[in-house]
Structures are given as structure tokens and as C-alpha cells.
Amino acid sequence: MSIPETFAANSATVRDAMVAISRGTASAAFAVTTDDLLVGVVTDGDIRRALLEGALLSDSVTPFIRSSPFVAKSTDSRATILDLMQARAISQVPIVNEEGQLVAVHLLRELLGRIDRTNMALILAGGRGTRLLPTTSSLPKPMVLVAGTPILERLVNHISGFGISRIAISVGHLGDVIADHFGDGSQFGCEITYLWEDPENPLGTGGPLGSLSKLFPELSAPVLVVNGDLVTQFDVAAMLTHHELAGSDATVGALPYTHEVPYGVLQVNEAGHIESIVEKPLRQELVSGGIYIFNPSILRTVPTDTFFPMTQVLTDCIHGGNKVSVWAVDEGWMDVGRPQDLTKARGQA
């Protein structure tokens, strides 16, 4: 059981709920009264949908609270709760006492226990983070704090928590700061190896894949690759399972991106006549979330010690006849690459 993160049901804003979610490990936070009575739950996905629908961080979170969530009692057995969670496809269940007060939360991954995996993970943390200057003049972008914890530490803990105990981190700009913080990884429940890049001659987002393959030629299991500036709670196990069941050589974690056309868009027929005008329509595209899985055979095709973008890795996969699939990132995800993104991640926007 874990300690649940909560927010005031009658006064919390969208920002308050985001902050509560970021503090915990359940990808959710719980709305309670002043007497700790459980009112409902808000997940990362609920917040993301609220923002896509135009909600402001200062708006009340009340419309987005899922009322009457499935709950358990402290006397319920582990097996009973696990069966119910799997049957309802939910990953967290709040525990209430006889008065309906929230006392704890069951997490699916804790009930299942850690499953040690043979997979290796590579975190890309070698960029300069120029868009976050001056913050990144003395601190690598992945080490920027969100809710008091470095982004990279969140990623390491998250990946290790899913049973991946071997993690490589590609470092360049101020890489010593990262190496000094994590050491050999033993304090974080994993074994960490560093792939050192020359900051003056970076390898790009794809180049470190070649370096990893060169350093570990014996790799046989699919490799998880993650951008080091992500605040995310994606389901590592589910993505690995998808990759295997789909028979993929490469899998891209993707999510929808919605943007507004800032003009009135003309709907024109074949005769060149305007039939209608749509004012500032919303367009949605599917974009890469900076999360990938590659079979080792793909890594071996990436040149070493050469700048190589991830887009080229994927393009070469496609043109080479390899199967490249998409997996939907349906849990919390935020790219902290720009000042406004960092502000939002910190709940200050």
C-alpha cells in the first residue's frame, strides 16, 4: 500500500490536481473533503484531456473529477483486490475506512511485484538544453527539478521499478553532474553505465544507439530508449508486451498533439467557390513521445561515433522493410524542453 496524494475537493484548481499527481507514484490524485472523506479521483489522462479541451490551470478541477471511484477496504485480501483491478483494467484502488475516509492506495504494480527483466534501457541525456538557458548553463536539462526531484531521477526510478535493472545514460554537456548524482546506480536499485559524448561533437538522438550496441554486443532482448527530459508515468511493461505481440522490430510511443490554426480556414469546392469558413479550427496529429523500443538488430545498423538523428534511425528501419509499430502513451507525459513546459510541469503556469 502507498500513501495517496490528495487535493481539496471543493476548492482545487487543475494546477492543484497536477501538482498532487506529480508528487506521487500512482499517476493519480484523490479529491477529499476537509474530513478526508473520499470524493473522487483525477488521473494524468483526465488532466491531459481537460487541457486539450481548453481548460486553464486556474480553472476548477471539479468537472474533471471521477466521482464514486471503485474502492477497497483495508480488510480486503490482496488476491481479491488484484482480481478486481485486473477485471476492471485499473491500476490504482483507493482504500477507505468504515467512515469513508481515504487511508491508502493500492497500486497494481506493487501488488504484482517487481518482475526482473532481461531488457536494457537507454536514457538520452546528452543534449545542451539551450532552450532552458540560463538554467542549463550549470545544470544538465535532465537534472532540472520538478516537484523537488530531478527529471532524470524520476525516469531512472520509474524504469527500474518495472524490473529493468541495467540502464545506460548517454551524457555530454555537464555529464559529470549526472554521473556524480547517480554513481553506479546501486542506490537506485539498478546498474548504470554511461555513454560519454564529446559535447562539441554530439551524436544526436540516434547516435547513442550505435554506441550502446558497440559497448554491449551481446544484447539479445529489446532495448527501451527514452528521452531524458520527459516527465512521464508510461506503462513500461505494457509497451514491451505490445512490442513482442506485434512482432515489431521497432516501436514508437506516440500521443496526439492538438494545435489551433489561428485563422479562419476556407472550405473550397472543386469549382473554387467558398462553401464555408471554419474559425480557428483544431488540428490533431500523432507525434512521437520520445519513447522507443528497438530490437538489438536495429541498434547494430546505427553507425558509431557519428551524428545520427532518431528520425533517420526510424526512416532506415521503414525503408529496410522492418516492422515499426505505434504504441499509445496513455499515461502522464510531458516534455520539459522549453521554459513554458518546465513552468507547467512545476505547476506554475
Residues facing residue 191 across a β-bridge:
166
**CA atoms of 346 and 67, how far apart (whole Å):** 26
Helices 14-23 and 44-52: crossing angle in degrees, nearest 10, is 150
Q: What is the pLDDT of residue 131?
A: 67
Q: What is the pLDDT of residue 113?
A: 67
Residues facing residue 322 across a β-bridge:
none
pLDDT in tens, the chain (349 residues): 577 889 999 999 999 999 999 887 778 899 999 988 999 999 988 998 899 999 999 999 999 999 888 888 877 766 677 767 766 777 888 888 888 899 888 887 777 766 789 999 999 998 876 666 676 677 888 998 887 788 999 899 889 888 899 999 999 989 999 999 999 998 888 999 999 999 889 999 999 999 999 999 999 999 999 999 898 888 898 899 999 999 999 999 999 888 899 999 999 999 999 999 999 999 889 999 999 999 999 999 999 999 999 999 999 999 999 999 999 987 667 766 655 555 555 554 4
- Which residue, among 128, 295, 300, has the nearest Cα to 212 in the 3D structure? 300
CB contact at 8 A, 267 and 275? yes
Q: What is the pLDDT of residue 345?
A: 53
CB contact at 8 A, 122 and 208? yes
Domains of the chain: 6-112 (3.10.580.10), 117-345 (3.90.550.10)
Q: What is the pLDDT of residue 298?
A: 98
SS3 per-residue string spanning the chain: CECCCEEECCCCEHHHHHHHHHHCCCCEEEEECCCCEEEEEEEHHHHHHHHHCCCCCCCECHHHCEECCCCEECCCCHHHHHHHHHHHCCCEEEEECCCCEEEEEEEHHHHHCCCCEEEEEEEEECCCCHHHCCHHHCCCHHHCEECCEEHHHHHHHHHHHCCEEEEEEEECCCHHHHHHHHCCCHHHCCEEEEEECECCECCCCCHHHHHHHHHCCCCCCCEEEEECCEEECCCHHHHHHHHHHCCCCEEEEEEEEEEECCCEEEEECCCCCEEEEEECCEEEEEEEEEEEEECHHHHCCCCCCCCCCHHHHHHHHHHCCCCEEEEECCCCEEECCCHHHHHHHCCCC
